[in-house]
Amino acid sequence: MPETQFSKRRLVILISGRGSNMQALAEACRLEGWPADIAAVIASRPDAGGLEWAAGQGIPTAALYHKDYASRDAFDTALAAEIDRYSPDYVILAGFMRVLTPGFVNHYAGRLVNIHPSLLPAFPGLHTHAQALATGVRVHGCTVHFVTPVLDHGPIIAQGCVPVLAGDTPELLADRVLAVEHQAFPAAVRWLAEGRVTLTNDHRVDVQGDPARLFNWSPAA
């Protein structure tokens, strides 16, 4: 019998803003009965809109304002100490707009998961939707992946695809990508909660049961 029959995975979610992906994860966890608990939501700024929503759901919250720390290392050390209070099985980056230090990433190796708004390895970094439009690609999307010390790289768990349409702006494209993020991210985190995700020796992801790991946007999504 799987371990998840006996104990729930503990998830800590990191945000920087309104936390729409965090909300999608928390709602899917509750509605679908994942074998997981959202142990805490932690923000990189005290005015992050998602904190109020999480607190309203009874989820413990905290905020560590990065500008209050003298260095990136100091912030990451304090952040790790706050996260570790909740003994997480996984730390989920849901719109967490901070570049993390190698020490922090290595501390959570194999337990740190991010969603990035592009089809990695294309368009790492910021302004991904503008990058996509500037290069003329016809397909764009998102990637759920394990975090490594190399920015916006790491073994891919799931991806979501959207078409690039005539007349698109970065804002229109971002809205379409967000809709497919809300499909791919909850599915991937549920697999993690169910203990179905493993890393292979050649640094790829295997998901027990071989579910579809590519999510496609549709107008009704």
Is 72 annotated as ligand-binding?
yes
Say which of 66, 107, 116, 140 is annotated catalytic.
116
Taking each helix axis as running N to C, give the angle between helix 170-193 and helix 128-135, from 0 to 180 degrees, rounded to the nearest 10.
Answer: 120
What span, in angstroms and rounded, lies between the C-alpha atoms of 143 and 145? 6
What DSSP string describes 110-146? TTEEEEESS-TTSS-SS-HHHHHHHHT-SEEEEEEEE
Is 20 annotated as ligand-binding?
yes
Q: Is 96 in a helix, a strand, or coil? A: coil
Looking at the DSSP assignment, which residues form a beta bridge with residue 11?
38, 90
Active-site residue flag, 129: no
Assigned token pair, 91:
């730390």
Listed residue (137, 95, 92) closest to 119, CA to CA: 137
Question: If you count them, how many residues does the chain have?
Answer: 221
Is 218 annotated as ligand-binding?
no
Name the residues annotated as catalytic: 116
- Known binding-site residues equal 19-21, 72, 114
